[in-house]
Copies of this chain bind each other. A is one copy, B any other.
Amino acid sequence: MGFRMANIQEVAKKAGVSVATVSRVLNHHPSVTPKTRVKVETAIRELNYEPSMLGRNLRNSESRLLLVLIPSISNPFYTEIINGIQTTAIKHRYNILLCETNSDPRRENIFFNMVKNKLADGIISMDPTINRQKLTELAEHHSVILCSEYMEDGSIPYVTIDNERAAYQAVKHLIILGKKKIALINSDERFLYARQRRKGYEKALREFEIPISEELIYNTHELNFHDGVQAMRMLLRMEEKPSAVFAVSDTLAIGALKEIKASGLKAPDDIAVVGFDNIHFSNMSNPTLTTIAQPMYKMGATAATMLINQIQSKQVESILLDHELIIRESTMG
């Protein structure tokens, strides 16, 4: 592949003009004679020339590329968000690059550097495992927006939902159905959203004077189906089994449903289940899953708009979007 693409010089030479004129044609400057323009365009076509983003970016300090950080693409939660980001970005002539960190700090660093080095114009982070310190430092001089998972100190603008209230509503729904022994399948409580959802869970229980039992709270390592299976398996080992489960993600909830069925029990009669996110698949499980719908597309679109505004030095404010409880078979047979 030892091949060099034609550069602006060669185009200029072939067209019999200066590099400046070629550049002007490239950038649609009004001050070029139609005749000259045609000459240059012909040369460009003949040489199969494409302007180098590298040279251009180095000169302009602009790449029109946005980075989107996610911990893992395997979580369907991100799908619709990314859709929203992408559509908005394209509308503003930006492109996005998906960066999967796999929670590896070395990978984070690469992506942060891409922004520092002007290889990308800004970054939307949805990664809860991210190094907060480094991200804050980056945000001091570069454009950064948080989406879904955020930092409470408010140093970086974010778009998210009211996790505590959402969890509270989910659990209240279970209580009103007559469930008393409600388990929580939570993720790692290092993450803000996990702490907030636990808070909502506890608030609902407290409001109805149901005792909070550590035994009923299981923390998973990740958000895979298998973690949900595992969690449910542990909860079913209790002498007095829970009559309901609130899982902080649909993937966990679907795993829990699977294990409930495997153990010969039935949802929702024996154990009702509520998930969180409203991923596409939550409507395909059996029974279909009651869940909290996050406005994922809108969240992504909002994050992209905020980032682009920030890149253009406009003022941006953090935003809290609405969620919604979607009631399906896993709680209402």
Chain A interfacial positions (CB closer than 8 Å to B)? 1-3, 5, 50-55, 57-58, 73-74, 76, 78-79, 82, 86, 90, 95-100, 102, 107, 110, 113-114, 116-119, 140-143, 224-225, 254-255, 258, 261, 280-281, 283-286, 310-311, 313
Contact = CB atoms under 8 A, between A and B. Distances in A.
Contacts of A258: 284, 286
Contacts of A310: 1
Contact of A50 (B57, B76, B116, B284): B116
A99 B97 contact: yes
Given A3-B140, A53-B117, A54-B58, 9 more contacts: A50-B116, A52-B118, A54-B57, A54-B119, A73-B73, A73-B82, A97-B98, A224-B280, A285-B285
A5 B255 contact: no
Interface centre among A1, A141, A258, A281 (most CB of B within 10 A): A1
Nearest to A4: B61
Nearest to A279: B74
Across chains A and B, which 6 residue pairs bring their CB atoms closest together, nearest first? A98-B98, A3-B141, A53-B117, A286-B286, A74-B79, A97-B97
A91 to B, nearest CB: 12
A97 B225 CA distance: 26
A286 B254 CA distance: 11
Contacts of A54: 54, 57-58, 117-119
Contacts of A261: 286
A73 B142 CA distance: 27
B313 A1 contact: yes
